[in-house]
Amino acid sequence: MQGEFKQYIISLYKDIPQEVYEGLLSIFCIGLVVFIAWKGFKTGLRYSATLLLIEYIFFLFCSTVIFRATGATRQYDFHLFWSYDRPDLLVENIMNVVVFIPVGMILGLLLKVKGSWLVALLIGCNISITKEALQFWFMKDFSEVDDVMHNTVGCLIGFLIVSGFHHITAAVNHLQRASR
């Protein structure tokens, strides 16, 4: 199974030109410096996190739509849980969760309002629906509802990880203040 995970990861980035990676890294680094110089450290980091989210979403679209080979026909399955009948798709299902965890983590850093888990869930779902719709429209790989579900779950997991750290940090800070 470890080989399957490695193969999936390689399939995400193998067709993307090196210049895309260099461009994304350059834009992020320049953006980080400019935002911190322009808005100060804390606000500059929030702007940089937004830029990182945009770049990560662009990377996902590069790997699944833009640089993926076009098929001869549209391949799709819009039945929920169809992939669970295929044990050979277990790794792909897990990786569809994993690749969206960073989206949720960045949203966890950016969203600080009550009920923002729902906002993160909706954003992750919309990004995934857009990705799958583009794959369907441009005949890039296989479009399926299960991918939307897995991507959305991954986004929510990432959001909950960061939210958990926020809550733990807040509780520790509260205990430290109370002990003084």
- CB-based burial of residue 154 (10 Å sphere; 0-12 exposed, 13-18 middle, 19+ buried)? buried
User: Is a pLDDT exceeding 80 seen at residue 96?
Assistant: yes
Confidence of residue 62 (pLDDT cuts 50, 70, 90): very high
Number of domains into which the chain is organized? 1
In a domain, 74, yes or no: no
Q: For the segment 28-40, what is each residue's pLDDT rounded down to a tens digit?
A: 999 999 999 999 9
User: Is a pLDDT exceeding 80 seen at residue 115?
Assistant: no
In a domain, 77, yes or no: no
In a domain, 146, yes or no: yes
Top-ranked range on mean pLDDT: pick from 87-91, 96-100, 140-144: 96-100
| Nearest residue to 117 (alpha-carbon basis) of 151, 164, 80 | 164
Residue 1's pLDDT is 67
Q: pLDDT averaged over the chain?
A: 93
In a domain, 75, yes or no: no
In a domain, 22, yes or no: yes
Q: For the segment 127-139, what is each residue's pLDDT rounded down to a tens digit?
A: 999 999 999 999 9
This prediction's pTM: 0.90
Secondary structure of 60-103 in HEC code, one letter for each residue: HHHHHHHCCCECCCCEEECCCCHHHHCHHHHHHHHHHHHCCHHH
User: Is a pLDDT exceeding 80 seen at residue 61?
Assistant: yes
Query: What is the rounded average pLDDT of the residues 138-162?
Result: 96
In a domain, 131, yes or no: yes
Q: Domain span at residue 16?
A: 2-69+83-178
In a domain, 76, yes or no: no
Query: What is the rounded average pLDDT of the residues 97-120?
Result: 92
Confidence of residue 121 (pLDDT cuts 50, 70, 90): very high
In a domain, 48, yes or no: yes
Query: What is the rounded average pLDDT of the residues 53-82?
Result: 94
Higher pLDDT, 2 or 99: 99
